[in-house]
Copies of this chain bind each other. A is one copy, B any other.
């Protein structure tokens, strides 16, 4: 469904989010350990997220990654997915036609329509805050 990069990116963002709530900045090392991802690859993904204004980075000793508290509830999953995987998953044609077009639909267009719309609206209506709170309270998990 999502690329590995996107999976790591979502998990990393959640981990950064709930630490930022407590005013804690987290390092690449801590993130990779927490979400069980390869460190160097995760670094690249975090750089992408910084460029796309999902997270902020602070260089140097005692640096790391963080998200402005006020923004945590404003960042939607769709922003992360879009930054890392683009919008093909909910905008492109499910069978790889040049584009998804009502007037020139592929055989599964109608069947997929509602699923893709549900996916899109879920991604656009889910914010980092709710996901982070669930992890913090032990309702959901980032690894294993």
Interface residues of A (CB under 8 A from B): 1-2, 4, 7, 10-11, 14, 77, 89, 94-98, 104-109, 111-112, 114-115, 118-119, 122, 126, 131-132, 134-135, 139-144
Contacts and interface: CB of A to CB of B under 8 A. Distances in A.
Nearest to A105: B140
Work out how many copies of this chain go into the complex.
Answer: 2
Nearest to A104: B141
B126 A10 contact: no
Contacts of A4: 96
Contact of A95 (B7, B97, B118, B122): B7
A96 B143 CA distance: 9
A115 B119 contact: yes
A118 B104 CA distance: 24
A143 B108 contact: no
A135 B106 CA distance: 8
Between A11, A108, A140, the greatest number of chain B beta carbons within 10 A of the residue's beta carbon is seen for A108
A32 B143 CA distance: 42
**Among A7, A105, A135, residue most surrounded by chain B Cβ atoms (within 10 Å):** A7
Contacts of A2: 94-96
A97 B141 contact: yes
Nearest to A98: B144
